[in-house]
Amino acid sequence: MPRIAVVDREYCKPSKCSLECIRFCPINKSKRGTAIELSSDGKNVVIHEDVCIGCGICIRKCPFKAISIVNLPDELEKNVIHRYGKNMFKLYNLPMIRPGKIMGIIGRNGSGKTTSVKILAGLLKPNLGRYDNPPDWDEIIRAFRGTEIQNYLKKLANGEIKAVVKIQYVELAKRMLKGRVGDLLRKADERGLYREVVEELGLKHLIDRRIADLSGGELQKFLVAAVLLKEADSYFFDEPCSYLDIRERLRVAKAIRGFIDVSKKYVAVIEHDLMILDYISDQISIIFGEPGVYGIVSKPYGVRAGINNYLEGYLPAENMRIRREPIIFKITVSQQQQSPEEYPIVKWTDMVKKYNNSGFALRVTGGEIYPGEVLGVLGPNGIGKTTFVKILAGILKPDYGDVIISVEKISVKPQELSPKIFPEETVAANLRRASPQAVNPASWIYAELVRKLGLNKMMERRVDELSGGELQKLAVAVALATPADLYLLDEPSAYLDIEERLAIAKVIRRIIEEKRKTALVVEHDLMLQNFVASRIMVFKGIPGREGYTTPPLDISNGFNELLRELGITVRRDPQTGRPRVNKPGSYLDRYQKSIGQYYLPQVVQEK
């Protein structure tokens, strides 16, 4: 049985441990060979997979959780596509992209999505697992004989395919690109579509801005526009919707479909927002496995079947279970009934908050939140959602109106993250400060949140060493682990993959419903809001100038209010209850608009 042994070089720190992984290895002690030893530079340990018996002792002995050992079936080894090096990540299979179909790719962070795109774009030559003796292109192409991807790789090797990639980390653009938005887009324009793309993506007001002055969302739209303007055979979009609000996500999805001739081009999109992925894709490939250790690319599925299989946690074509429990969205849209003796945990009157320096004004309609409720907040960026959260938290005071019922114990997850917001030095210390149960392996908060977010593997890491995604996970875990009556969570899913988002949604619901607490969740992911929210509050207006709100509405009316403004219709999937965006002009789209039901809460039987 093939064995994958991975040592995370970022976590492995021999200088700070006693190397018990080496001392307690039974193969080392039996003198029958060496299964694990210190690397020649002394910076990491090295595991010899051909000698290792997979006993797991080194995994338990490692204080930094840097070692992973996994046994896989023999037949899987013939599908090895790439390995980065000894004791490093291993990828099996590739997404079967083809002209005429937009391939949506979903999977956990670290499972190999970006690696797959790099290989298909010609940025990374696959080594078939032979990192020490890489094969030539002829051998690589022979390895794919009999598959749809063989002809694609043959054209790629011969230089007959030009590929362009929208990178995952938009922050790199600030370091690599200099100049103004308009000038750079004109240079990128190889298709003569400059005016149309700028108009469609709403970039007119950014033309004279410098790249260094753009926000994350503005950078995202700039990079999508630059890719759409290139003349290529293959287009790859790696997380094109991060940093964007709902309106902008749909705008990007429409632009990708509208400006690329899908019938002649290869197109693949990696996206964590399942509702947007459903909207833009024609087929789905699921990448599963152990993040950072190995990833397996599934066979292509239809969009509905692929996403439903992913939520179900079982892939029938592979006969593989990838999750213990299925994820089922709430079918009912009725509010949770309040007991007659229960009073609102939070109540506010009509309020007004003005910023004299920018001229922005927010007008809030009065409302209340009851025990056991999650109030979802929806609306575009720059419309006042974060201002409202700060008013409820007592950080800001309204110019008119007041919060007339409040609570003393409030836990806040802020929108903007930096190491400075954490009072302690390490991950474990911050979690322990929030709640001792967060570092207790026997507690449910540890099992449901800390472990599922992977924070158990970075307990001894310093906060100032964490990436943006790791900071987000720590901030969410600290906020939810803190005992409170009111939880204010501002964009808790940013940077997180689907599994992590759903883990957060499930633990929010459990804390709120079982302990009769209250939460307010500001979030752009409509599917996550549909999963977690009891009621919806919609923010409208002109971003940066004025914002106003609806009172808290039930999910049906709240979604209907938002979707009417966006001009899209949504139905419910009969199998999972998840919301699905109707294709523009389809029968259901026209029907729902005709009856004024942009969000159809009933389950629609689909053929």
pLDDT digits (tens, 9 = 90+) for 100-118: 899 999 999 889 999 999 9
Do 308 and 399 reside in the same domain of the chain? Answer: no
In this predicted structure, what is the pLDDT of residue 337? 47
Residue 353 has pLDDT above 80, yes or no: yes
Question: pLDDT above 70 covers what percent of the chain?
Answer: 97
pTM > 0.75: yes or no? yes
pLDDT at 604 over 80: no
Among residues of the chain, what percentage have pLDDT more than 90? 52
Average confidence (pLDDT) over 118-141: 93
3-state secondary structure 305-370: HHHHHHHHCEECCCCEECCCCCCCCCCCCCCCCCCCCCCCCEEECCEEEECCCCCCEEEECCEEEC
Beta carbons within 10 angstroms of residue 407's beta carbon = 14
Q: Name the phi and psi angles at 296, rounded to 5.
A: -120, 125
User: Are 125 and 221 in the same domain?
Assistant: yes
Confidence of residue 72 (pLDDT cuts 50, 70, 90): confident
* Spatial distance between the Cα atoms of 465 and 486, rounded to a whole number of angstroms: 30
| Domain edge (last residue) among 14, 48, 71 | 71
Provide the domain count of the chain. Answer: 3
pLDDT of residue 590: 92
The whole-number pLDDT of residue 29 equals 85
User: Residue 177: pLDDT above 90?
Assistant: no
In a domain, 354, yes or no: yes
State the pLDDT confidence band at 171, using cuts at 50, 70 and 90. Answer: confident
Tell me whether residue 62 is in a domain: yes
Least confident of 91-100, 124-133, 379-388: 379-388
* Residue ranges of E strands in 162-258: 163-166, 234-238
Residues 450, 387 share a domain: yes
pLDDT tens for residues 501-555? Answer: 888 888 898 889 888 899 999 988 888 888 899 999 999 998 888 999 999 999 8
Closest CA to 129 of 156, 92, 157: 92
Is 603 a residue whose pLDDT tops 80?
A: no
**Domain end (from 27, 51, 71):** 71
Boundary residue ending a domain (36, 71, 106): 71
Q: Looking at the structure, do residues 37 and 149 belong to the same domain, yes or no?
A: no
Q: Quick check: 26 pLDDT over 70?
A: yes
pLDDT band at 602 (very low <50, low <70, confident <90, very high): low
**Inter-residue long-range contacts of 447-455, CB under 8 Å, 24+ positions, other chains counted:** 448/503, 448/506, 448/507, 448/510, 449/476, 449/477, 449/480, 449/481, 449/503, 449/504, 449/507, 450/477, 450/481, 452/499, 452/500, 452/503, 453/477, 453/500, 453/503, 453/504, 454/291, 454/500, 455/427, 455/431
According to the model, what pLDDT value does residue 63 have? Answer: 87
Residue 139 or residue 506, greater confidence: 139
pLDDT > 50? residue 159 = yes
Question: What is the per-residue pLDDT across 277-308, written as a single tens digit (0 to 9) for each?
Answer: 999 999 999 999 998 899 999 999 999 999 99
**Can you give the pLDDT at residue 607?**
43
Nearest to 439 by CA among 467, 411, 408, 481: 481
For residue 255, the 8-state DSSP code is: H
Is position 252 within any domain? yes
Residues 250 and 118 in one domain: yes
Measured distance CA(265)–CA(489) in Å, rounded: 41
Structural domain includes residue 606? no
pLDDT band at 230 (very low <50, low <70, confident <90, very high): very high
pLDDT at residue 1 is higher than 70: no
Does 447 share its domain with 482? Answer: yes
What is the rounded average pLDDT for all residues in the chain?
89
| Predicted pLDDT at 333 | 43
pLDDT at 330: 62
Q: Is residue 596 situated within a structural domain? A: no
Answer yes or no: is pLDDT of 35 > 80.
yes
| Co-location of 273 and 403 in the same domain | no
Q: What is the pLDDT of residue 332?
A: 46
Domain hosting 386: range is 346-554
126 and 142 share one domain: yes
Residue 171 lies in a domain: yes
Per-residue pLDDT tens for 251-266?
999 999 999 998 889 9
CATH code assigned at 391: 3.40.50.300
CATH code at 7? Answer: 3.30.70.20
pLDDT at 334: 42
Q: Residue 467 is encoded by which pair of tokens?
A: 């990436």
pLDDT over 60 (residue 97): yes
595 belongs to a structural domain = no
Q: Taking the CB of residue 437, how many other CB atoms lie within 10 A of it?
A: 16
Q: Are residues 65 and 102 in the same domain?
A: no
Average pLDDT over residues 47-66: 90
pLDDT at residue 335 in the model: 44
- Same domain? For 484 and 419 the reply is yes
Query: What does the pLDDT average to over 494-500?
Result: 83
pLDDT in tens, 418-451: 888 899 989 999 999 999 999 999 998 898 889 8
16, part of any domain? yes
Q: Are 224 and 240 in contact (CB under 8 A)?
A: yes
Same domain, residue pair 273 and 358: no
Specify whether 57 is located in the same domain as 86: no
The predicted model gives 561-568 an average pLDDT of 88
